[in-house]
Amino acid sequence: MSSSDGSISSSPSGSTNTRLTNILSHLTSKKPRVVVCRDMGPDVMPLLRERRDIELVEWGKDNEAPPRDWVLQNVRGAAGVLIVFSEKVDAEFLEAAGPSLKVVSTMSVGYEHVQVSELAKHNVKLGYTPDVLTDAVADICVMLALMATRNAAESMWLVKQGKWPVWSPFVMCGPQTGTVRSPLSTLQRPSKTVGFLGFGRIAQATLARMIPFGVTDCIYTSNPESSSSQNKYAARDAELLKTHSPTLRSLKSVPLPVLAGQSDILFILAPGGSKTYHLINEEFLRQMKPTSVLVNGARGTLIDSDALAKALREKWIWGAGLDVIEGEPDVKEDHVLNKEPRCAILSHIGSATFETRIQMATLAVKNVLAGVFGEEMPAELNVRANA
């Protein structure tokens, strides 16, 4: 018979054959183990805890990552594992899990913490959580753009230091986010261009939010490795342009140097990984306008922090708004970007609304359960195509 903790026990009076039969029966009917590396909260954990067809192993904490040793020990024999950014899935992880592992489900849209090629090699599926965080991240991107253009970080720092500036006609002024509509203005800007490095769902949602501010033109680079400005998404772009007409006058794909040189506000919304590592470097930043701002709502690894700090310090660009930084969460007071008054930094809160995180956690749970039981996953990444 099976004890409450899942171990095998037998009656002292039972014969050897009976005990062996019981053990074999237990092994052949053993429930698939699902390891959960973070507590997903009271709205989501019951989806796992109330199941009677799985063996659930929980780290049990929501604000602390499990040690690597705990992860490697508990994934042994698991059929599914639910992770977040802190859990690195690599050859060591998969070797520890063994051949029983069917699926890894990450509560994130990004998957650079997962070695996709190793998953493909071991025929392990990967679930992720796209779409559900689109609106929340787009909101943060717009907020960061406003903070960067209007010197919010520097202004808040002055107030906290007890150095509230004396009002004067141009104190703390920054560039207008959109076009200037007042007929009395002598400095009307006829156009305002937003640029996007990466033009997926979040970028398109961000553009929609920027239109009411008077943005007139949009440029983007979807494939940074290509020097061609040929637009592969003509039908989609034509529809977007029609949707945002007449305020938005143009929408087109451009090469990376054009993106740098023409963007008044540049949003970084491309995936992380080796192909995009430090794409925003000194060479790129020197091509930007002195009145332009840079917003990163994607991954910190896309930006060379030292180069950005130099660009801000020497005023190659106006300001920056960052929700992510390379090396996070190990970002201390003495970080090079923390020393720049015109750099507004958030602690990776792009998806941090209750509604969004619950949806992400729910999707992550559904992915892991579907993968364990061989069902179609709600959001599966094709690991072979992305290896």
Residues labelled catalytic: 348
Neighbours of 18 (CB within 10 A): 12
CA dist list (Å): 359 to 129, 180, 271, 349, 351: 9, 39, 21, 15, 10
Task: Show the tokens assigned to 353.
Answer: 């609304």
Neighbours of 368 (CB within 10 A): 29
Cα 225 to Cα 318: distance, rounded to the nearest angstrom:
27
3-state DSSP of 36-81: ECCCCCCCCCHHHHCCCCCEEEECCCCCCCCCHHHHHHHCCCCCEE
Full strand arrangement of the beta sheet holding 80-83? 55-58, 33-36, 80-83, 103-106, 125-127, 380-381
The residue count of the chain comes to 387
